[in-house]
Amino acid sequence: MKNKFLGALLLVSCATQEAATKPDPAPAPVAEPAKPAAAAPKKFSVDLSKPMPPGIEEAVMDLTADPCVDFYQYACGGWMKATEIPADRALFSRGFVSIADRNEQALKGILEEAAAGKLPAGTPFAQQLGDAYGSCMDEPALEKSLPEVKKFIAANSNVKTPADLAKTLASLHKAGFRPLFRIGSQQDFKNSSEVIVGLDQGGLGLPDRDYYLDDNDKAKSIREAYLKYIEQVFTLSGDKPEVAKANAAAVMALETRLATVAQKRVERRSPAKVYNRVDRKGLKEKSEFKWDDYFTAIGMKDVQAINVNSVAYFAEISAIAKEKPASLTPYLAWVVMRGSVPALPRAIQDAAFAFGQTFSGAKEDRPRWKKCVGFVDGELGEALGREFTRRFFPSDSKARTSAMVAAVSKSFENNLDTLKWMDADTRKFALNKVRVMVGNNKIGYPDQWRDYASVKTDRKSLFNTSLATSRFEMSRELAKVGKPVDRNEWLMTPPTVNAYNEGQKNEIVFPAGILQPPFFNKDATDAVNFGSMGMVVGHEITHGFDDEGRKFDEQGNFKDWWSEASGKEFVTRTSCVKNQYDQYPAIDDLKVQGDLTLGENVADLGGLKLAHAAMLDWYAKQGSAVAESRFDNSQQFFLGFAQSWCTMMRPEEARRRQKVDTHSPPYWRVNGPLSNDDSFKKAFQCVEPAKMIRTGAERCSVW
């Protein structure tokens, strides 16, 4: 089970659970609220006769904008004016999505070779890659897939007793489906060297519990659309209209019941609220579900150490299981159907896309090949990533990134000495933690690749192939329980355009997928690369010290290592950040949720400061002359930072993300932290009362 406190540069979630491809990153730019008119200061200007620095594109900028009024517009305005969101996407960004598109094309080439049997001799797991992609691309076969899916449903939905339900849930969980709840492995919060079982809430078809419970017209219309979608899929699968209608109503009633007891996203950001370790006896006392039958069926007959994320949620699961298990048949069938959409006939895929438009706003479904690339990357990611990095990740990229990690880490260490609000003992502990973290950094790809030899793929059936890869992954996941923590494991595939901080391993990880322009550009100036990729490094380091990360020690244990005074001051400072982002509009009448996005906002604020200081130190030590340029080093840094975040998004996607995303919209990920940054103010000669300057009690500073 992925650590709930994994801090990623960009953490995203699917609008619907049946998507075959990974969701697209980054929320939308929105207009900043108007402020009272004031005397306009002199506008920043540049000498247009001088050359642009490598890595900064003039066409992306809007040189008519004032960087001290709206830096996002200044850095990205030209790109936004010229860019149209592709019809098959909910958003498009100059950074994340443009890189993802290039990576997709590269992966497509590899997989087409695999499917044709043309990969180089000796390529590991070429058969599995070819079968997975080939079965996914075989659309005529998908039109005949419904009988095998319905056969699987019949074998895994007809429950008559609580014991039947326990065994059936185990079978479905092993196959990669998530009815009622989720199971996985996790490091124990208070003993990070121990791997235990984690039981977590789950089972919903809508993106968040609030979609079931909110009383506004928008939520009601979404529930109506979801109900019709369920009914439509049951009808397309062969149910009579009246049966499909009744089944849809039963599914909606059960999912609403689950949503009622599910924890809110903000609650789940607190380690204390999702940590309830019990033994088997204690679990039975808190939830009278047939746990012995369940654990035996899933292959963990003797397991004892278990974390229950929410006692109240699993008490409700117990009540549901005891009432009338047979009534769960429609729900169990629906979980399989919605989780198998990519492997089902086109009519069901079309229904899923039409419903998904409620959240994404996309005009067209994604091409089949893109879905299949996403499927293989998700299921056999390290086999595919192994060939991807061999072809597209040069060794010097790893070396240059390592140097940048060292430079930004040193910046964090130097910055600690300037934090007058932190006492000496807490500062010493933070210093030790960051040194351990950076010593645990991972760049590009794993040192030890995953072994997929036991995966029995089926070239003739995407559904069977999906079952095989899911069963392999669940078996691998549960096999970790009771064994030493695998510190070589990666939680993202090498082609992924993202990065993360894993708090319980106290490590920072940068997949090869993100180490490309505009985040990392070998032809750009060092200043530009520090602004883009250096900020990413600083962001991930700061996650170890955000409002969640600070609650774990250097070994990844849930432990309060702060003095009382320093802890209180930290809370005061992060409250400033929460209040700042609470004021920002996300979309229409909705504001950014400052509490939900707090960790990412703190990481953005700290990452920017650390990377800029590292850049200055880098040039100071370099001691070489800087080539003439239209922008100086600091200006290049901030432009490189902002231009990697240029994003366009459809309103539907922006509204969804406002509810579920732990990240602020890109507009505020740029202008928000910059408005607190004295180095930015100095670089662009901003003077009060410019909009890009926060002063007095409004100005936020944490790290």
pTM: 0.92
| Residue 531 to residue 524: CA distance in whole angstroms | 11
- Return mean pLDDT, the chain: 93
Amino acid at 378: G
E-strand ranges in 219-328 read 277-278, 306-308
Query: pLDDT tens for residues 242-257?
Result: 999 999 999 999 999 9
Q: Is residue 120 part of a domain?
A: no
- Residue 552: strand pairing partners: 558
Q: Is residue 205 part of a domain?
A: yes
Q: Is residue 651 part of a domain?
A: yes
In a shared domain, residues 292 and 423: no
Name the pairing type of β-strands 306-308 and 500-502. unpaired
In a shared domain, residues 272 and 418: no
290-294, 327-331, 396-400, 550-554: range with lowest mean pLDDT: 396-400
Query: pLDDT tens for residues 282-315?
Result: 999 999 999 999 999 999 999 999 999 999 999 9
Q: Is residue 107 part of a domain?
A: no
In a shared domain, residues 580 and 499: yes
Instruction: State how far Cα 467 lies from the chain centre.
Output: 24
In a shared domain, residues 335 and 400: no
In a shared domain, residues 77 and 216: no
Q: Is residue 413 part of a domain?
A: yes
Ramachandran area for residue 602 (φ above 0: left; ψ -120 to 50: alpha; else beta):
alpha
Query: pLDDT tens for residues 600-642?
Result: 999 999 999 999 999 999 999 987 656 789 999 999 999 999 9
- Of the three residues 294, 319, 340, the one that is the final residue of a domain is 340
Identify which has the larger pLDDT, 73 or 41.
73
In a shared domain, residues 408 and 504: yes
Handedness of CA 509, 511, 512, 515 (dihedral sign): negative
3 pLDDT more than 60: no
Instruction: Give the three-class secondary structure for 522.
Output: coil
Looking up residue 202, the CATH number of its domain turns out to be 1.10.1380.10
In a shared domain, residues 297 and 438: no
In a shared domain, residues 434 and 528: yes
Domain that holds residue 562: 54-83+395-446+490-698
Q: Is residue 289 part of a domain?
A: yes
Q: Is residue 118 part of a domain?
A: no
Name the pairing type of β-strands 306-308 and 191-201. parallel
Name the pairing type of β-strands 7-8 and 500-502. antiparallel
| Residue 67 to residue 58: CA distance in whole angstroms | 14
| Residue 388 to residue 373: CA distance in whole angstroms | 12
Q: Which two tokens stand for residue 562?
A: 């702060």
Looking up residue 598, the CATH number of its domain turns out to be 3.40.390.10
| Residue 646 to residue 321: CA distance in whole angstroms | 49
In a shared domain, residues 327 and 217: yes
- Of the three residues 308, 325, 340, the one that is the final residue of a domain is 340
Query: pLDDT tens for residues 359-376?
Result: 999 999 999 999 999 999
In a shared domain, residues 407 and 286: no
Overall number of domains in the chain: 2
| Residue 24 to residue 97: CA distance in whole angstroms | 7
In a shared domain, residues 521 and 619: yes
| Residue 296 to residue 167: CA distance in whole angstroms | 8
- Our CA angle for 545, 547, 551, nearest 5°, is 70
Q: What share of the chain is helix, strand, coil (3-state, %, to 5)?
A: 55, 5, 40
Give, in order, the Cα–Cα distances in Å from 366 to each of 22, 103, 128, 475: 11, 16, 24, 31
Q: Is residue 363 part of a domain?
A: no
Give, in order, the Cα–Cα distances in Å from 292 to each of 157, 169, 199, 312, 314: 20, 13, 14, 20, 15
In a shared domain, residues 597 and 687: yes
